[in-house]
Chain A
Amino acid sequence: MKNTHIQTTVDDHRIAKLAAFAILLHMVEAVIPSPLPGVKPGIANIVTLYVLYQYGFATAAWVSILRVFASSLLLGQFLSPTFILSLSGAVVSLAALWLAMHLPKRYFGPVSLSILAAFGHIAGQLLLVRFWLIPHAGVAYLIPVFASAALFFGLINGLITAKLLYNKR
């Protein structure tokens, strides 16, 4: 019989492990009640950011997208609006990270990247909400709330990532 075993590389294993950790954080966050739907700390993004610094953009993108797919399957939201929102947020956030990682590293650390990624996240989600889910200009009223949340949680997540990267015991 022919061997149909899929050959996996070290990279694949690493991506799987990191994605698993991101999924875990996503699950933890899913059970935290939120005052407004959509305002979440986004702690799974800490993993994306950490991976970006340690292993590069490609690995970070894999981890982020795998996390979105696997988490939605676990929460039973696969292909639902929640999943599409999550995916669009992740994609735009990755795009923001890709642009931000070219900033001079001496001045722009994980905090910058985290804040920019958080803004990218809500931008992606709000664009989708505006053009697909709730095609009405009233959505604009929510933008300031989401932007404040993005700034606040982006800062904290950036600090956590910086701490993980540089304060190794």
Chain B
Amino acid sequence: MFNLPRYLKLLNPKLITQHVLSGDWLVLIAGLLCVLYLFQTLWSGEHAAKVQIRLGDKIYATYSLNQQREVHVHGKLGDAVIVIAQGKARFSKSPCTTQYCVHQGWLSRAGQAAICLPNQISLELTSDAKPYDALNY
């Protein structure tokens, strides 16, 4: 009774030119822009507001990302330098041999993290409202 291919076939050029008036095109384009805007804003991830630095099993400090700052943290191996620059943060120097944490580069979205296991320092970006890992209903 309900035939999906036939239903979709209604999207043919003849029917569109016949029944889509100029105002309809306006609504259609506005709707399309609206949808694109929604995808852009809602699917691009939340911008982070704070960076949390952990040393070992303790929270060492939490800084706002809205500043220009260098933070020196004394880890297990030695001094690591963390740079905060207008909405993003990174490890810029680390005494560890692998340098994975440094190569990870800038973090800017809430939930991103850089972890330096040898030196036992980690960065985690958080937004004002911390996103959940999982929700269950």
* Chain A interface residues (CB < 8 Å from chain B): 28-29, 32, 41, 43, 103-104, 106-112, 115-116, 119, 134, 136-138, 140-141, 143-144, 147-148, 150-151, 154-156, 158-160, 162-163, 166
Contacts and interface: CB of A to CB of B under 8 A. Distances in A.
B16 interface: yes
Chain B contact-residue range equals 20 to 34
A148 B33 CA distance: 10
B130 to A, nearest CB: 11
Interface string B1-18: 110100110110001101
Contacts of B132: 136, 138
B21 A156 contact: no
A150 B4 CA distance: 16
Label chain B's interface by main secondary structure: helix
A37 to B, nearest CB: 12
A43 B21 CA distance: 21
Interface stretch (B34-42, B60-68, B75-83): B34-42
12 contacts: A108-B23, A109-B24, A111-B27, A111-B28, A112-B21, A112-B23, A136-B132, A138-B135, A140-B42, A151-B28, A159-B11, A159-B19
A32 B3 CA distance: 10
A141 B43 CA distance: 6
B2 A159 contact: no
B127 to A, nearest CB: 10
Interface in B68-104: none
Nearest to B129: A137
A137 B1 CA distance: 39
